[in-house]
């Protein structure tokens, strides 16, 4: 799963995306061409992840999906979550996550729960863009932030 993730510059992947009927996700956030502002986190395998707490506060953010290459969707997600899971070594863990890492976990747990990422969470078709348009938005925001 990590090899697939790295090959496609992803930050998260769920076992069903690689044709495994298992409740496992990998969260591996790092700066890449697809996510130049990503924080460093992981890789962390989460077996049977369960989100047990969600903040009331939500935030919209652009998400990509390895299952639907070339498209980005603007999705509202909880800013903070608590997730319980089993680690690769069998240890039961509880982790609090916020912002980008929380978004990744929520996205991947959606896959485990049979929701195909951002396509079914859209308020409007206007919240979908091509990867090319999204990359242009990133480039423009870099120019604005430098000035």
Would residue 108 show up in a list of annotated catalytic residues for this protein?
yes
* CA distances (Å), origin 41, targets 28, 30, 38, 45: 6, 7, 9, 11
Distance CA 10, CA 49 (A): 19
Q: Which of 69, 144, 60, 147 is nearest to 103 (CA)?
A: 60
C-alpha R_g of the chain = 15
The alpha carbon of residue 10 and the mean position of all alpha carbons in its chain are separated, in whole angstroms, by: 8
Q: Are 47 and 87 in contact (CB under 8 A)?
A: yes
Distance CA 13, CA 26 (A): 5
Active-site residue among 44, 57, 108, 131?
A: 108
Q: Are 42 and 28 in contact (CB under 8 A)?
A: yes
Active site residues: 108
């Amino acid at each position: 799963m990590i090899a697939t993730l790295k090959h496609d510059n992803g930050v998260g992947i769920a076992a069903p995306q690689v044709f495994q009927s298992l409740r496992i996700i990998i969260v591996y956030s790092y700066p890449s061409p697809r996510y130049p502002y990503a924080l460093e986190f992981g890789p962390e395998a989460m077996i049977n992840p369960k989100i047990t707490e969600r903040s009331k506060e939500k935030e919209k953010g652009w998400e990509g999906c390895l299952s639907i290459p070339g498209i980005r969707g603007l999705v509202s997600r909880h800013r903070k979550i608590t997730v319980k899971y089993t680690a690769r070594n069998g240890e039961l863990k509880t982790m609090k996550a916020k912002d980008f890492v929380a978004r990744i976990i929520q996205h991947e747990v959606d896959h485990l729960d049979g929701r195909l990422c951002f396509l079914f969470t859209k308020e409007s078709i206007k919240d979908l863009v091509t990867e090319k348009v999204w990359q242009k938005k990133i480039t423009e925001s870099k120019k604005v932030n430098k000035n």
